[in-house]
Amino acid sequence: MDFLSRYDLLGAFWVTVRLTVFSAIGSLVWGTVLAGMRVSPVPVMRAFGTAYVNLVRNTPLTLIILGTSLGLYSTLGLALADETSGTFLKDNNFRLAVLGFVAYTSTFVCESLRSGINTVPVGQAEAARALGLRFSQTLWIVVLPQAFRAVIAPLASVLIALTKNTTVASAIGVAEASLLMSEMIENEADKLFLIFLAIAAGFVVLTLPTGLFLGWVAKKVAVKR
């Protein structure tokens, strides 16, 4: 077992955690905006939301992540870090990966939220409009808070999927857990199953509590009708 101490497992998982957290926050924000667009009374917004979700949701994640690096950076020259800095490649790839995860995961957040919006009775929005609230206020103050509470459990599944999806970032050289795993397998081919187990255990440690905690939160904040 002590061969494990020759590798920076904690460091690699720390990158996984950071990828997950930043991507989750971004996906939550962008996914909420997308959901707002999809239920908006403005046809152009609805059309954009629908087109975006259907296009991105149905594209393989690997393609999107490679697209950020090969497309956005190598071809279009979009740099998300200071190019003169010594850690440019590392920072740029990390941020490009986050961008890709946000673009992708937000579509699932959007669709979860939209199903949550459907659980809010029509009368809630009617009462809000009848009181003089504008569309955006009705959405943000009355509908979305209730929709969010209804979809915490499905959002937990999205978050767990995202945590595991971060392994795709290894395709553009982000030093997260699975990239370290590849390196370990190359060096210690005889300990293959042990390495698998160690990495898998690391992911379970991250995702299991997330699921349990959010399941508890979902019960706690459920809207009683």
Dig out the tokens for 197 from the structure: 């187990």
- Least distance between another protein and beta carbon 126 (Å): 6
- State which of residues 18, 46, 129, 164 lies at the interface with another protein (CB under 8 A): 129
Q: What is the distance in angstroms between the CA of the first residue and the CA of the last residue of the chain?
A: 54
- Least distance between another protein and beta carbon 158 (Å): 22
Rounded Cα distance, 69 and 57, in Å: 19
Whichever of 56 and 142 has its CB closer to another protein, that residue is 142
Residue closest to 127 by CA, chosen among 113, 142, 117, 145: 142
Dig out the tokens for 104 from the structure: 């992708």
Sign of the torsion angle spanned by Cα atoms 192, 193, 198, 202:
positive
- Least distance between another protein and beta carbon 8 (Å): 45
Site string for another protein, 32-51 (x = CB under 8 A): ---------x----------
Any idea what DSSP says for residue 78?
Answer: -
# binding residues, another protein (CB under 8 A): 22
- State which of residues 43, 77, 86, 132 lies at the interface with another protein (CB under 8 A): 132
Indicate whether 59 belongs to the interface with another protein (CB under 8 A).
Answer: no
- Least distance between another protein and beta carbon 213 (Å): 21
Directed axis angle between helix 9-38 and helix 43-57, to 10°?
Answer: 150
Indicate whether 130 belongs to the interface with another protein (CB under 8 A).
Answer: yes
Rounded Cα distance, 143 and 38, in Å: 14
Tokens 């042990």 — which residue? 194
Site string for another protein, 144-163 (x = CB under 8 A): -xx--x--------------
Residue closest to 159 by CA, chosen among 105, 114, 202: 105
Contact by Cβ (8 Å): 138, 73 = no
Site string for another protein, 81-120 (x = CB under 8 A): ----------------------------------------
Give the interface with another protein as residue ranges (CB under 8 A): 41, 121, 123-124, 126-134, 137, 141-142, 145-146, 149, 223-225
